[in-house]
Amino acid sequence: MIDYLTMDPKIDCRNKLISTATRLFAERGLHGVSIRELSKAAGVSISMISYHFGGKEGLYSSVLEEQFSCYGYIEEIRKLSADPLQKIEAYIRWTIQRHRNNRYLLRFYTSELTNPTPYFPPIVQPAIGRVIQILIEIVEEGISRGQFREGLNPVDTVLVMAAMANYYFLSTLATEEFINHSPERDDELLKHYMDIFTKGILT
């Protein structure tokens, strides 16, 4: 737990700006929020944004870095002493938990993919690209070991798997009348996705 009474005021100010900017940028994007709105919402002077981040763009860049830093966990999945299918299950479980723990991440994810800012190439693309690359390697290993079938296209397989895991959270508002999206169902969701991924839908 953060103790704001003993925290360095400069660090406190920076954290307030990051927290406030994350919410506002997630809701309205980089160009939909003014520097004045950011400073007012955070309860700090405009000069503090320049002091800590060099301006609004620097603040947005820092927000993106924080949001996508969680993607580094894919390296832990890569290093697991597990077979390819177990690594796939670990990826899907992590994806579910990633969205549970980062309420604004999906907004930045979709926004940067569909309307990229200048910070997509240095921050977002490498983070997503590394996940895709490692998943491709996992699928290729599964094919070479005979665990996954011959003729499987690793790239297409990875993109379908990633889409399946991410769309569940992207479509929450549109599908809430059809399915329960509560965290209590996450284990069931993981099992269903693994069943679909490994067995398909044919009898």
pLDDT in tens, the chain (203 residues): 444 434 466 678 999 999 999 999 999 999 999 999 999 999 999 999 999 999 999 999 999 999 999 999 999 999 999 999 999 999 999 999 999 999 999 999 999 999 999 999 999 999 999 999 999 999 999 999 999 999 999 999 999 999 998 999 999 999 999 999 999 999 999 999 999 989 999 98
CB-CB contact of 190 with 92 (8 Å): yes
Which residues in the chain are classed under CATH 1.10.10.60?
9-66
Express each pLDDT in 103-159 by its tens digit: 999 999 999 999 999 999 999 999 999 999 999 999 999 999 999 999 999 999 999
CA distances from 55 to 46, 122, 150 (A): 9, 18, 52
Q: Which residues contact 48 (CB under 8 A, 6 or more apart)?
A: 13, 17, 39
Average pLDDT, the chain: 93
Angle, CA of 182, 188 and 192, to the nearest 5°? 125
CB-CB contact of 68 with 123 (8 Å): yes
* Both structure tokens of 109: 């994810």
Radius of gyration of the chain (CA): 20
198 phi and psi, to 5 degrees?
-95, -30
CATH number attached to the domain at 9-66: 1.10.10.60
* Both structure tokens of 63: 């927000």
Architecture of domain 67-199: Orthogonal Bundle (1.10)
Give this prediction's pTM: 0.89
**pLDDT for the residue 2:** 46
Which residues in the chain are classed under CATH 1.10.357.10?
67-199
Angle, CA of 60, 63 and 65, to the nearest 5°? 110
**pLDDT for the residue 203:** 86
